[in-house]
Amino acid sequence: MVITHLSEELWFPDISSATGDGLLAIGGDLSVERLKLAYRSGIFPWYDDGQPIMWWSPDPRMVLFPEKLHVSKSLRRKIAKGGYRVTFNTAFSEVIENCSVINRKDQAGTWISTEMIAAYSQLHTIGWAGSVEVWEEGKLVGGLYGVDLKEYSVFCGESMFSLVSDASKIALFYLRQHLLQKDYKLIDCQMYTDHLSSLGAEEISRESFRSYLTP
């Protein structure tokens, strides 16, 4: 299968032309307009620093329906106990920076490059990306960020981090509560991981996922 190489022209091939592992195209840029077009089309960038930009639309797609989030008994006890503060969109830069440097199992480095940080920070400035922050004794100890497709009631989760046990899960719990109040349809988790599955995320077909991207 031939992979499309993007130029400066603002377009993407149909997502049905992606490879078996979901790779759709290479190249282009991370401009605000291209990112907006990508997420509206069910496409996201994911590549290592030093590689060309790679655009993906996997089939199946990993998603979390907010009402299906699995909250363990221990996490419920921790949430009930408190001792932390949760905020929305007050420290986006700090959250994405922490996500870029946190050590992750089976990953030698990070895909959140300086270029990616700058691009998503621009999205945040115009209200297209958001963050959840968890604070303990005035220190940021966990959080998450993602692309907020308000017009479709879909939140595209990008990354999360914890500096203390369960901080990212607390952020996800409060994001879920917020999205339920706003009648959001789902949280896009992009690709399968055992961790996401343990939290209640599931795989749906690419066509099913695309059906949610309608006003």
25/120 same-domain check? no
Q: So what's the pLDDT on residue 105?
A: 55
Question: What are the residue ranges in the chain where pLDDT is below 50?
Answer: 106-109
Task: Give pLDDT, residue 108.
Answer: 41
Contacts of 105 (CB under 8 A, 6+ apart): none
Q: Cα torsion for 191, 194, 200, 201, to the nearest 10°?
A: 10
Q: Are residues 104 and 11 in the same domain?
A: no
What's the pLDDT score for residue 109? 44
CATH code, domain with 53: 3.30.70.3550
What is the full DSSP assignment across 193-207?
-HHHHHTT-EEE-HH
CA distance 51 to 202: 29
The CA distance from 199 to 173, in Å, is 10
pLDDT of residue 94: 98
User: Torsion angle, CA of 181/183/188/192, rounded to 10 degrees?
Assistant: 80
| Sheet containing 4-6, strands listed edge to edge, beginning at the edge strand earlier in sequence | 4-6, 23-27, 54-56, 44-45
Q: For strands 54-56 and 44-45, give the pairing.
A: antiparallel
Question: What CATH number is attached to the domain comprising 194?
Answer: 3.40.630.70
Number of domains making up the chain: 2
What's the confidence (pLDDT) of residue 49? Answer: 85
For the stretch 23-60, pLDDT in tens is 999 999 999 999 999 999 999 999 998 899 999 999 99
Give the per-residue pLDDT at 135: 98
Domain residues for 86? 62-211
